[in-house]
Amino acid sequence: GAVVSQHPSRVICKSGTSVKIECRSLDFQATTMFWYRQFPKQSLMLMATSNEGSKATYEQGVEKDKFLINHASLTLSTLTVTSAHPEDSSFYICSARKGAETQYFGPGTRLLVL
Amino acid sequence: GQNIDQPTEMTATEGAIVQINCTYQTSGFNGLFWYQQHAGEAPTFLSYNVLDGLEEKGRFSSFLSRSKGYSYLLLKELQMKDSASYLCAVGHGGATNKLIFGTGTLLAVQP
């Protein structure tokens, strides 16, 4: 199998607070995980590539100090949205790469910042 | 630059066949992926093509022509549950082989 979990599935927070989202590969090891953001009726936009044991690689336009990524083990990556603002409200999805090519996606985390 | 084009919306009838096209122009290429995404859920993997030709998997088939920068996803014997967005994504290659997604095609299957 190739199962990826995310926690929490849904979170509501106040503006200015930080939120941590966990992504786990449950039945395989993933040296590389990816974090995406998806706004309503739009496609997935890659935010960053998370590499186990090294710094994440951020896509152009994504603030690395605002979106902190930690890939502490071969089965866990975390995304922390720091000082969240209403415009950060979105659907955050992680994926883990199994083998050389295919990415398997987590169920997503819906973030609402009030 | 990176450009992946798909039709925005399509409508088809239950039991019929539908073909969803995808054209791409990317600076790197390491395979083409199709994912299905139901509203409010994460994408699920459907198919992967790295060589030219047709890959068949049950009711779903995917075709790739690298020289034309073109792929399609063919859905046969459509069911109501096939109503979803279908995302075309290109593997960019390199060490991480990140995926670049198209805008997605919203398919509505009608009775």
- Closest residue to A101, CB basis, from B35, B97, B100: B97
pLDDT band, residue B95 (cuts 50/70/90): low
Q: Quick check: B93 pLDDT over 90?
A: no
Calculate mean pLDDT across residues B38-64: 93
A32 at B interface, C-beta within 8 A: yes
B contacts of A91 (beta carbons < 8 Å):
40
Find chain A residues with C-beta within 8 A of B40's C-beta: 91, 108, 110
Distance CA B37, CA B103 (A): 12
| Residue predicted with more confidence, A59 or A1 | A59
B75 backbone dihedrals φ, ψ, rounded to 5°: -115, 125
Q: For the residues of B32-62, what is the DSSP string, one character each? A: EEEEEE-TTS--EEEEEE-SSEEEEETTEEE
Residue among B43, B44, B48 minimizing CB distance to A101: B48
CB contact under 8 A, A43 and B99: no
Residues B38-62, mean pLDDT to the nearest whole number: 92
How far apart CA A73 and CA A95 sit, in angstroms, is 15
Distance from CA of A45 to the nearest CA of B (A): 7
CA gap A88, A78 in Å, rounded: 17
The beta strand positions in B1-111, using DSSP E, are 3-5, 9-13, 18-25, 32-37, 44-49, 53-57, 60-65, 70-75, 84-91, 99-101, 105-110
* A43 within 8 A of B104, measured Cβ to Cβ: yes
Residue A30 has a pLDDT of 87
A103 vs B50, B99, B103: nearest CB? B99
Kindly report, residue by residue over B14-33, the tens digit of the pLDDT: 999 999 999 999 888 889 99
Q: Which of A45, A102, A106 sits opposite B42 (nearest CB)?
A: A106
CB contact under 8 A, A101 and B104: no
The span from the CA of B61 to the CA of B74, in Å, is 5
- Res. B1 pLDDT band, cuts 50 70 90: low
Pick from B45, B30, B36: nearest CA to B79: B36
pLDDT at position A89: 96
> In angstroms, what separates the C-alpha of B100 from chain A's closest C-alpha?
8
- CA-nearest of B60, B56, B57, B72 to B24 is B72
Nearest CA in chain B to A102: B48
A7-64 per-position pLDDT tens digit: 999 999 999 999 999 999 999 988 899 999 998 888 899 999 988 888 899 999 999 9
**Residue A78 in contact with residue A105, Cβ under 8 Å?**
no
Q: Would you state the pLDDT for residue B70?
A: 96
